[in-house]
Amino acid sequence: MTSYQQIVLASRPQGVVSVDNFRLESVPVPTLKDGEVLVRNHYLSLDPYMRMRMEDVKSYAAPQALDEVMIGGTAGEVVASKNPKFAVGDKVVGMLGWSEMGVSDGVLLKKVDASVIPLSAYLGAVGMPGMTAWYGLTQIIQPKAGETIAVSAASGAVGTAVGQLAKLRGCRVIGIAGGKEKCDYVVNELGFDACVDYKAGNLRKDLKAAAPEGIDGLFENVGGEVMDAVLARMNPFGRVALCGLISGYDGEPMPIYNTRVMLSMRLTLRGFIVSEHMDLWPQGLGEMGSLVATGKLKYRETVAEGLAAAPQAFLGLLVGKNFGKQLVKLI
Amino acid sequence: MTSYQQIVLASRPQGVVSVDNFRLESVPVPTLKDGEVLVRNHYLSLDPYMRMRMEDVKSYAAPQALDEVMIGGTAGEVVASKNPKFAVGDKVVGMLGWSEMGVSDGVLLKKVDASVIPLSAYLGAVGMPGMTAWYGLTQIIQPKAGETIAVSAASGAVGTAVGQLAKLRGCRVIGIAGGKEKCDYVVNELGFDACVDYKAGNLRKDLKAAAPEGIDGLFENVGGEVMDAVLARMNPFGRVALCGLISGYDGEPMPIYNTRVMLSMRLTLRGFIVSEHMDLWPQGLGEMGSLVATGKLKYRETVAEGLAAAPQAFLGLLVGKNFGKQLVKLI
C-alpha cells in the first residue's frame, strides 16, 4: 500500500449532521521517523461524543478541526515500527481517527491481547464505553445491593455495560430504550429487570410500573424528556451520573422541569468525562476484561463495512439505529 | 398569663400564599407534666422552607398539618420547668412554631448564651440559616482560595453568611439580589466583590461582567432563570449547592435550559437539607458563633412586631421584601 483513505471534517453541521459534513480523502502512506509506529486499523469506534466535538463551542475538549481526520478510537495491527516498544503484528488500540491507517509516536497506543478477548471489544466493553459505564456506575452512582438503577440508551455500548455491572452488584435494573426489540434484548439477553420503551408513548406511566419503589441511581446518556421523567421518580439521596445528552446534540432545547426534585429528594447530579479519570482505567478495565473473558458480561456490536460507510453509520448512531457498540470494520 | 396566641395553618395555598391561609387562635396555657418546659418565645424565625411544608406533596419532610401550629424555629426564655435540665430564666432555642408560648419535653430545646451573641442571632447567622450557609459552602462547594463563588438571594439570612464565609476563605464573591439597595448592601457593607441586580434586566450580561473568569461554585437559593443564567457561566468542575428554589415555591415552572453545561463543564449539583446533617452542626455553629462574636461576620435583621404580623411578614419574605433575616418579635 502506498496510499490509504481517511475521513476529514469538511464542514460543521447546522443542526442535524449530514454526510456532507464529511469528506473521504486518499493520502500517501508516510515514511516513519524514529519512535513512530504505523498501524493498520481493523476497527473504527463510533461514539456519541464525536457529535459534540463537531461544534465550535466551549466544551470539555477542543473542537474537531476542519479538514483534519475525524477523531476516533481505533483497534488495529502494527504494520511497521521504528519504536522499540512495538513490533510488527502487535495488536494495538489508539486514537488514530476515521482512517484506514495511522502513525503514532506510541504514547497513546496500547498493546492488547486479542487471543481471549476479541480485538473489537477493546473499543467497546473493554474500552472507553465499558470504562465509561464502570466509572459512572461505581464512582458516581455507587450502587448498593437492592437499589434500583435506571440507565437510558440501555441497549447501547455504555448502557448494556452499566446494566450488567449493576445487576452483578445486586441491583434492580431498569433500562430505557427506543423500541421493543432493544427492550426485549436488554431484558431477555442481558437480564435487566425491566425496560421502558420511550417511543411507546407512556414514558411516565411505564417508568412508574417498572420502578414502583422509585429509582436510586440514574445513568443518563440521553437527556431531555427521558431524563426529566426519570428525575420525577428518584428516591431520596439518589445519584445521577450525567454521561451524555444525545437527545440534544443537534442543538435542540432539552429543558429539565423537575428541578424541584433535585432539592426535595436531595439528589446529587454529576457530569463526567471518562478520559479525565485515567488513573482508574487499569482498575475499571481490569474488571471489565475479566467479566468479558469469563462470559459474565455480554456485549453486542453493530458493524458497518468499510471506511466510506462511517458517516452514514455515525448518523444512524445519533438517532439510535445502532444496537450495542457501533463499529466500522476496515479490514 | 392564662392564655396565649398561636397561628395555625387554616388552609393550603392555591398558588400564591395568602394571609387567609393562616388563623390566629387563643389557647390556654397548659399545665406542665414531669419533664416538660414552658417557654415564652421572644422571637419567631420565618424561613422559605415553610412554604414547601404548606403543600401536601411528597418531599423531604411531612407536610404541615392543617389546624396545627405552623412549624418554625423560636428563641425565648424558660418561664416554668418540670425538667431538671432547664431552669426558669434560661434562654433557649427550639422549634416551638408560630406561637407566643410553647411546651417542650426538652429534647429539641437548646440552651444558649445570649450575653455575647444576641438571642435573635441564634435564629439567623448562628442558627439554622447560618448552618445552612456553612454546610452548603464548606461541604458541597468546598471553595478554594481564588475561586469565584456566586450566591443568589445574596442579601438574605443564608446568602449574607455564604458570601462572608467565602470571602474569609479567600474567594471572589458575586452576589445576586433583587434591587440596588440589596446589592449595595452586600458589596459595601459585607465586602462582596460584586453584586448582580437580577431585576435590572441584564442578568446574563451583568453576570458576565461580574464574573469575567467564570464561576466555580454556586450557592443556589432561588432557582429558575437566575440559576439558569449562572449555570451558563460555570467553570469546569464547578459545584452547585442547591439549597432553595424560592422562585418556584408557588408552583411556577422553573425549567433549567443549560443542561448541557452540567455535562460539558462536568458540574456537580447537590440538593441538601441542613437538618439531615446534625452531626456537623456543632462544628458549623462553632465557627459561625466565633465569627459573629468577634464581629468578623455581620448580619442584618428585618423584624416584624407581634405574632399577628407573622403571616404578612412571611408573604413579604417569599417575594424578597425582607433584608437579611426575617424575624417576628413577640416580646
B248–A58 C-beta distance less than 8 A: no
Distance from CA of A248 to the nearest CA of B (A): 8
Residue B293 contacts A where some CB pair is shorter than 8 Å: no
Taking CA atoms, A71 is separated from A18, A66, A181, B31, B194, in Å, by: 17, 11, 31, 78, 42
Q: What are phi and psi of B151, to 5 degrees?
A: -140, 130
Do B129-275 and B3-124+299-329 have the same topology in CATH? no
Give the DSSP per-residue string, A49-99. HHHHHTS-S-SSSPPPPTTSBPP--EEEEEEEE-STT--TT-EEEE---SB
pLDDT score for A52: 87
* Angstrom distance (rounded) from CA B282 to CA B80: 27
What is the Cα–Cα distance from B88 to B90, expressed in whole angstroms?
6
CATH 3.90.180.10 for domain A3-124+300-329, yes or no, is: yes
Choosing among B54, B239, B261, B270, which should be mutated to test the A contact, i.e. which has the most A CBs within 10 A? B270
Nearest 5°: phi and psi at A147? -75, 160
| pLDDT at residue B252, as a whole number | 79
Q: Give the separation between CA A225 and CA A198, rounded to whole angstroms.
A: 9
Residue B257: which of A253, A268, A273 has the nearest Cβ?
A253
pLDDT band at A84 (very low <50, low <70, confident <90, very high): very high
pLDDT at A237 over 90: yes
Tens of pLDDT, residues B139-183:
999 999 999 999 999 999 999 999 999 999 999 999 999 999 999
* Angstrom distance (rounded) from CA B116 to CA B113: 7
Confidence of residue B247 (pLDDT cuts 50, 70, 90): confident
Contact call for A262 and B242, based on CB within 8 A: yes
**Radius of gyration over alpha carbons of chain B, in Å?**
20
User: How far, CA to CA in Å, does B271 sit from each of A235, A264, B223?
Assistant: 13, 7, 12
Rounded mean pLDDT of chain B?
A: 95
- Which residue ranges make up each domain of chain B? 3-124+299-329, 129-275
Instruction: From chain A, pick out residues whose CB is under 8 angstroms from the CB of B259.
Output: 223-224, 227, 245, 248, 254-256
**CB pair distance less than 8 Å for A266 and B273:** yes
The pLDDT score that the predictor gives to residue A251 is 78
In degrees, rounded to 5, the angle at the alpha carbon of residue A262 between the alpha carbons of residues B128 and B59 is 65
Q: For residues A90-101, b (16+ Cβ closer than 10 Å) or e, as one string?
A: bbbbbebbbbbb
Residue A90 scores a pLDDT above 90: yes
Q: Are A9 and A22 in contact (CB under 8 A)?
A: yes
Q: Chain A residues with CB inside 8 Å of B273's CB?
A: 266
CA distance A184 to A197: 10
CATH for B3-124+299-329 is: 3.90.180.10
Q: Which of chain A's residues have a Cβ under 8 Å away from the Cβ of B248?
A: 259-260
> By the 8 A CB rule, do A11 and A84 touch?
no
- Which of B221, B263, B268, B272 should be substituted to probe chain A, the one whose Cβ sees the most A Cβ atoms within 10 Å? B263
Strands B91-94 and A301-305, how do they pair? unpaired
| pTM (whole model) above 0.90 | yes
pLDDT, tens digit (0-9, with 9 covering 90-100), for A298-318 = 999 999 999 999 999 999 999
The model's confidence at residue B276, banded by pLDDT at 50, 70 and 90, is very high
Shortest CA gap A223–chain B (Å): 8
CA distances from B256 to A140, A248, B198, B218, B285 (A): 22, 14, 17, 15, 33
Residue B48 has φ and ψ, to the nearest 5°, of: -55, -30
Class of the B129-275 domain? alpha beta
Does residue A264 belong to the interface with chain B, where contact is any CB pair within 8 Å? Answer: yes
The C-alpha cell at A77 is: 495491527
Rounded (5°) CA angle B134-B136-B141? 110
User: 3-state SS of B93-108?
Assistant: EECCCCECEEEECCCC
Hey, is the C-beta of A232 within 8 angstroms of any chain B C-beta?
Answer: no
Per-residue pLDDT, averaged over A66-71, amounts to: 97
pLDDT at A12: 96
Measured distance CA(B31)–CA(A320) in Å, rounded: 70
CB proximity A218 to B under 8 Å: no
pLDDT digits (tens, 9 = 90+) for B70-85: 999 999 999 999 999 9
Residues of chain B with C-beta less than 8 angstroms from the C-beta of A264: 52, 58-60, 271
The percentage of chain A sitting over the pLDDT mark of 90, rounded to a whole number, equals: 91
> Which among B242, B256, B265 is the nearest to A263, CB-wise?
B242
Determine the pLDDT at residue B248. Answer: 80
Give me the pLDDT at residue A1, please.
76
Is CATH 3.40.50.720 the classification given to domain A128-275? Answer: yes
Q: Which residues of B touch A59 (CB under 8 A)?
A: 264
How far is B121 from B113, CA to CA, in rounded Å? Answer: 11
Bigger pLDDT: A246 vs B124: B124
CB-CB contact of A323 with A185 (8 Å): yes
> Is B232 an 8 Å CB contact of chain A?
no
CB of A271 less than 8 A from some CB of B: yes
Instruction: Report the residue of chain B nearest A263, measured CA to CA.
Output: B271
B89 C-beta neighbours (distance < 10 Å), count: 9
Q: Tell me, what's the pLDDT at B1? A: 77
pLDDT band at A246 (very low <50, low <70, confident <90, very high): confident
Residue range A238-263: mean pLDDT, rounded: 89
Instruction: Tell me what ipTM this predicted complex has.
Output: 0.91
8 A C-beta contact, residue B204 and residue B181 = no
A269 touches chain B (CB under 8 A): yes
pLDDT at A249 over 80: no
What's the confidence (pLDDT) of residue A56?
86
Asked if residues B148 and B316 have their Cβ atoms less than 8 Å apart, the reply is no
Contacting residues for B274 by C-beta, under 8 A, at least 6 apart: B128, B131, B132, B135, B136
Q: Estimate the crossing angle of helix B157-168 against helix B281-293, to 10 degrees.
A: 80
How are the residues of chain B apportioned to helix, strand and coil, as percentages rounded to the nearest 5? Answer: 30, 25, 40
**pLDDT at A250 (0 to 100):** 77
Give the residue-averaged pLDDT of B227-231. 96
Q: Work out the pLDDT band at A158, boundaries 50, 70, 90.
A: very high
- Contact yes or no for B53/B80 (Cβ under 8 A): no
Provide the mean pLDDT of chain A: 95
Q: How confident is the model at residue A327 (pLDDT cuts 50, 70, 90)?
A: very high
Over range B82-105, report the average pLDDT. Answer: 97
User: Is the per-residue pLDDT at B52 higher than 90?
Assistant: no
